[in-house]
Chains A and B, each alone.
Chain A
């Protein structure tokens, strides 16, 4: 019999509908994999009973001949940034340890309403701030991947959605939610040989997602195939009156419109993404990617995104500025962590609570954000960054006059060893160099695996599309997926 945990979301959905297996069998198989993978530390909370509950509901519905839902029979992982009713939601922080929301985020509710079941809450970088998962209060996730040649160094699964990426590549769940502020879906997907799409800003409601940087945060799916991403995104997206920035647009039928035929499409290759010293293996993969898209019928043109070099500094002003304000609510007054030293007044309580509740990276970003918004520096940093952000968005508008999509690498390197970059925050921030521009412009972008490097680690390619054109992004991703034939998977060591 097929190994159920090797199936994609589409295969589970279709196999369950066809009666090849029960939803309970699927949920049980994934629950077993989750339980056996403690070494990866991918989950903060495991909820096998929730997965079984949804599976049983699906089985009953099928037995009763009722109409099945889009995700009936499919268990998934939920990034622990989404508030889940009655289930601890921490954002991987000590601050929210033990916090059980009385409400369900819009995106997770849509997934449950679509029939999906929850395997557990996935680990992440604390408050989604990080690119290696090392900032989690609950210990870092360890990538299931290892370098070849007997090097057993524990590797980073990427971040911030590192629990999601590790769990999917290790077959602990067929798909998971992620959130992407500056690359938090795409970079971990690239590091672990899976796919993940950040849709256009506003496609998915932010309601009930613990906020990092409001103008950038966007939820999206992560899975092993492009089709699975299309399936999940259809259930996650949609207008939400509870989020003023959510787009009041119908959700397209992305899966039904999937096509890897790119004839008539122009692919832009931004020259600024090929800096001196670009990793040769990444450059080579990028060239292969260009050939694959040509093979799919696309025409390739060179384009320029002149303000690319300012994207990272711009991002590291805007995101911390918003975060410094968004995280002010964690003050020990109403919920979560409270440290109240003897004889402490209100200010002492704030100081003690926030000192104990936030990790070093979160504190660093709160301080950067507070600084760039402070009187006397606001114009030099924040105002300036907003202007540059507009220029970056204009770069894309101009590029898209010449092409329909852009092809770039996802990350400047393959996964690195845990601890390797922790001492130097700036080196860590450079991980986002290819993903941040699309975030600043609010554009849809997908990461798809393209191949392995010499050490046997996955490398990813990124497709960036026009606003609201997720379809072209998915289609180009599919064209690469078909041609790359990426079938590598981590060898089980955990």
Chain B
């Protein structure tokens, strides 16, 4: 891929990007309290005394949240710090009941790691770039202010107050909007595989702070801005694009980029200044004296490691190498944990009923899922999770094709009926009499009729226009209503024309 460069009046500029991603940890309870974490609950119904910071309340770390963050760290091959500590980040705001956020500044749970991103979708192995991860720390989320409930008052909803977040901080290793987008997508994929975050960006389970600076290639880093709370891959790419060209404009006009926090307005597709470094808070970080340092033992780490699923890169390689799928198909099937899970269920069931190895049924299964099923779901506006056909039912359909009971053409019809009625493939084939015939007598009669009806074409064929062979096959199949075994048809036509 050619390098991403912004053409300015004074020459080319390079953009430097780092992302801080806040990912909500999947857990029944909050980071330091027993309160539940359900999304979309009535305001202030998921709040414990600790979350509301009542006098004398104390935080107690939730083991599951720590476990999920450790597993995430392991999935990005990061250093897991067996000794870490929580710090208080002090500031006043109405959505922050304690007057401080419990976070980890000085000694984060997870240290350096890395993620590999592919820059060419069609050929995922062609351009791979490693993006460094600086750290992952765990911290509490704040509550939410509601300004639309009363003409003169604001209300506070503390449901999110105290919910566990992982802050995943990348190194400034990205150089284009596409790289930033690919990084965020890949990170989301990994989190969903690990199960440590549901990755629902529209529900706020994952959001990114986008750090952008520009420089002339080869020069030191420029001054960066940080655009807060960007909540989709597309918006992250837009922020990078917009912010980089804004900074180039500022610099080329002789100005200086101000280190500041900015907000993205998706409606106008622009960022605007929120606060500059000068009025930045002094957060007065210090170790939280209510909490002991977090010390992890080997047994806990081993359990975390054992519980990790096969991760996307390893899965993609296995699909290519062990299952013989194309790089593109392997990448597509592994890009999302749910897709891979669906595919593997289809594969397992297919292998079981066809009494074959998974490798033997893999290609047909992948092709069917990516073309037939995806096509149908697109048409219906449904996700894979909402598919009216289950992996088991799909496998039954594929088995009928594989053992020659129906042809590919008939399979398409059967699939349509499955989608409409919910009936199983074997039952549809049985009831509608769609079984493919290998009865040579019937096929011979059909072939004879086709050749007789098209005597002129037979002449042409015999004169050398061999492409007409396909025409005869098609006409015969049509006459047989698609139920003839194509191999037998081919054979009989060849014989008749000889």
Q: Which of A243, A328, A346, A375 contacts B94 (CB 8 A)?
A: A346
Q: Is the CB of A325 within 8 A of B94?
A: no
Nearest opposing residue in chain B for A127, CB measure: B55
The distance from the CB of A452 to the nearest CB of chain B, in whole angstroms, is: 38
- Stretch from B289-297, B401-409, B434-442 that touches the partner: B289-297
Proximity string of chain B (74-116) to chain A, C-beta cutoff 8 Å, 1 when within and 0 when not:
0000000000000010101110011110000000000000000
Cα–Cα, bound, A333→B153 (Å): 12
Proximity string of chain A (62-83) to chain B, C-beta cutoff 8 Å, 1 when within and 0 when not:
0000000000000000000011
Cα–Cα, bound, A244→B60 (Å): 6
Cα–Cα, bound, A243→B94 (Å): 26
Q: Is the CB of A374 within 8 A of B58?
A: no
Nearest opposing residue in chain B for A240, CB measure: B58
The distance from the CB of A79 to the nearest CB of chain B, in whole angstroms, is: 12
Contacts of A347 in B (CB 8 A): 92
Secondary structure call for the A interface: loop
The distance from the CB of A432 to the nearest CB of chain B, in whole angstroms, is: 19
Contacts of A331 in B (CB 8 A): 92, 94, 99
Contacts of B288 in A (CB 8 A): 214
The distance from the CB of B46 to the nearest CB of chain A, in whole angstroms, is: 16
Q: Is the CB of B286 within 8 A of A333?
A: no
Contacts of B52 in A (CB 8 A): 334
Q: Is the CB of B55 within 8 A of A329?
A: yes
A interface list, Cβ under 8 A from B: 82-83, 89, 91, 96, 99, 101-103, 105, 206-211, 213-215, 241-245, 321-322, 324-325, 327-329, 331, 333-335, 346-347, 350, 370, 373-375, 378, 382
Q: Is the CB of B284 within 8 A of A370?
A: yes
Q: Which of B54, B92, B290 contacts A214 (CB 8 A)?
A: B290
Contacts of B154 in A (CB 8 A): 346
Does B301 count as interface, using CB distance less than 8 angstroms? Answer: no
Nearest opposing residue in chain B for A83, CB measure: B56
Does B53 count as interface, using CB distance less than 8 angstroms? Answer: yes
Proximity string of chain B (19-59) to chain A, C-beta cutoff 8 Å, 1 when within and 0 when not:
00000000000000000000000000000010011111111
Does B453 count as interface, using CB distance less than 8 angstroms? Answer: no
Within 8 A of A (CB), among B138-164: 154, 156
Nearest opposing residue in chain B for A213, CB measure: B289
Q: Is the CB of B98 within 8 A of A328?
A: yes
The distance from the CB of A319 to the nearest CB of chain B, in whole angstroms, is: 10
The 6 closest A-B CB pairs, nearest first, are A328-B99, A214-B289, A373-B284, A215-B289, A329-B53, A208-B56
List 19 other contacts, CB 8 Å, given A333-B94, A373-B285. A83-B56, A102-B49, A206-B56, A206-B290, A210-B56, A211-B55, A241-B60, A243-B58, A245-B290, A321-B286, A322-B289, A325-B100, A328-B99, A329-B98, A333-B97, A334-B52, A334-B97, A335-B54, A378-B284
Nearest opposing residue in chain B for A376, CB measure: B282
Q: Which of A245, A322, A328 contacts B292 (CB 8 A)?
A: A245
Does B61 count as interface, using CB distance less than 8 angstroms? Answer: yes
Q: Is the CB of B60 within 8 A of A211?
A: no
Q: Which of B49, B99, B156 contacts A103 (CB 8 A)?
A: B49
Q: Is the CB of B56 within 8 A of A328?
A: no
Cα–Cα, bound, A338→B118 (Å): 55
Instruction: Check A210/B55 contact, CB under 8 A, given A245-B292, A333-B94.
Output: yes
Q: How many residues on the B side are at the interface (Cβ–Cβ under 8 A)?
A: 31
Q: Which of A102, A210, A350 contacts B92 (CB 8 A)?
A: A350
Cα–Cα, bound, A419→B156 (Å): 43
Q: Is the CB of A105 within 8 A of B60?
A: no
29 cross-chain CB contacts under 8 A: A89-B55, A91-B55, A103-B54, A105-B56, A206-B56, A206-B58, A209-B56, A210-B55, A211-B55, A211-B290, A214-B288, A242-B60, A244-B58, A244-B59, A244-B60, A244-B291, A322-B289, A324-B90, A325-B90, A328-B92, A328-B98, A328-B99, A328-B100, A329-B53, A329-B55, A333-B156, A346-B93, A375-B282, A378-B285
Contacts of A82 in B (CB 8 A): 56
Nearest opposing residue in chain B for A245, CB measure: B292
The distance from the CB of B34 to the nearest CB of chain A, in whole angstroms, is: 10
The distance from the CB of B362 to the nearest CB of chain A, in whole angstroms, is: 50
Contacts of A210 in B (CB 8 A): 55-56
Cα–Cα, bound, A335→B156 (Å): 13
Instruction: Check A378/B286 contact, CB under 8 A, given A103-B49, A325-B88, A346-B94.
Output: yes
Cα–Cα, bound, A281→B284 (Å): 45
Nearest opposing residue in chain A for B283, CB measure: A375
Nearest opposing residue in chain A for B91, CB measure: A328
Q: Is the CB of A244 within 8 A of B92?
A: no
The distance from the CB of B431 to the nearest CB of chain A, in whole angstroms, is: 62
Q: Is the CB of B286 within 8 A of A325?
A: yes
Contacts of B92 in A (CB 8 A): 328, 331, 347, 350
The distance from the CB of A137 to the nearest CB of chain B, in whole angstroms, is: 15
Contacts of B284 in A (CB 8 A): 324-325, 370, 373-375, 378
Contacts of A350 in B (CB 8 A): 92
